[in-house]
Amino acid sequence: NLRETADAVVELVSEIAAAVDEMSLIQARARVEAITIEPERIDPDIAFEVARANRLDWMNNRAALVDQWRLIQFNAMALLAGLDLEIDGDLSTTGTNPARFRAPTGNMGGRLRFDAPLTRLRERNNFRQAILDYQQVRRQQIRYEDGIKLSIRQLLRQLELDERNLETQRRAVIIAIRRVDQTRLSLSQPAPPPPPPSADGSIPIVDPAAGQLAPTATLNLIYAFNDLRSSQDALTSIWINYYATRASLAYQMGVMDLDEHGVWIDKPFEGFTRTSSEEMLLPPPVPQEWLDYLEEIDPPPPLRDDAGIDIDDVPGIMPSIIARAMPSKEKDAVNETEKSREKRDDEVLPASAVIRDEKSWADMIPSFLK
């Protein structure tokens, strides 16, 4: 019979579709279980010691700091007294023979030069500048090390957070798979039979939306598949973020190795060399007696001839000029000048604004503005 054959084909297709859906759910569950990570617990202090031993930029910064410390010693030597011993001599020939050198024709002299540490203005300035530069570079090095330590601690915390989020999201994916399976089974179940007629002979009303093709069951299946996809994407994102954070940690520790294709080689962090803080100390701070010595040095006293010089204005700064409205006629200019004189006699102006000479407004304009 053609109808029976069609029903058998529809039933076979439904069974195949159900088997395919079940296989896809099994595959999704297997993929979820295949995503694994190997958590590695490393102490932040140990990671910091590994970074201290393997980071090349750290070594360069320390070398620059040591060079700055040596520059202080070099400039300090220039502040000391100098004692130089100079010896020179010559030996000439006698007669017409150009190769006849004799001792009586030779001369030898020597002198002793002493440079007292009395005038060391340039050397003192260089010494002060070297101390300031060293303190600045030393603070920068300390700030640099603190930044590395902070970055390592944040990356280690992020790794631990990603490990926990991965397991949480793995459970969320498993729950989404079970929800899809349950919704699919509820959709494939047969429709309920119609209820029997009541005792009074009336037929109860049947909801046409009830059954396997109800819109509610279909929407539940669509929502279940959407949730499954979202949870799988979130799981993949956390897994990728974990390895990206681990690569950043390897970069911060200076142990990132790449193969010939430029791909990062993941290695355990415990096997790398370490350097403790006792093995690589910071250069010492500037001795306090050096700073006290610099504070004791007073500026040179003024010259005797400069004591009687009265400087009205600061050199290099033009005196203040009070802006006034420009008169339109000469008579108005004269009246304006007289009024300004009377006003200046009554009011008190600041020292920088006092006009010493009786000049008109035209004479007060600087020459480079005329």
- Give the range with max mean pLDDT: 57-71, 92-106, 355-369: 57-71
Q: Is 114 in a helix, a strand, or coil?
A: strand
The model's confidence at residue 165, banded by pLDDT at 50, 70 and 90, is very high
The model's confidence at residue 358, banded by pLDDT at 50, 70 and 90, is low
DSSP 272: S
165 or 305: which leads in pLDDT: 165
Domain parsing of the chain, residue ranges: 35-80+119-190+211-307
Q: Looking at this protein, which amino acid is placed at residue 289?
A: E
The pLDDT of residue 368 = 43
d(C-alpha 150, C-alpha 286), whole Å: 27
Q: What is the mean pLDDT of the chain?
A: 78
> Phi/psi zone of residue 190: left (φ > 0), alpha (ψ -120 to 50 degrees), beta?
beta
Q: Is 296 exposed, middle or buried (0-12, 13-18, 19+ CB in 10 A)?
A: exposed
Between 98-102, 172-176, 186-190, 312-316, the lowest mean confidence (pLDDT) is in 312-316
CA atoms within 13 A on the CB side of 186: 16
Task: Count CB-CB contacts under 10 A for residue 139.
Answer: 10
The pLDDT of residue 158 = 94
5 or 354: which leads in pLDDT: 5
- Give the range with max mean pLDDT: 144-148, 267-271, 272-276, 362-366: 144-148
Residue 181 has pLDDT above 60, yes or no: yes
Calculate mean pLDDT across residues 337-355.
54
Q: Do 66 and 138 form a contact (C-beta atoms < 8 A)? A: no
pTM of the model: 0.62
Domain 35-80+119-190+211-307 has CATH 1.20.810.10: no
147 or 303: which leads in pLDDT: 147
Residue 162 has pLDDT above 90, yes or no: yes
Task: Give the closest residue to 217 by CA, choosing from 182, 172, 192.
Answer: 182
Q: Would you give the distance in Å from CA 197 to the centre of its chain? A: 80
Identify the sign of the CA torsion 155, 158, 159, 160.
Answer: positive
Q: Is 82 in a helix, a strand, or coil?
A: strand
Residue 327 has pLDDT above 60, yes or no: no
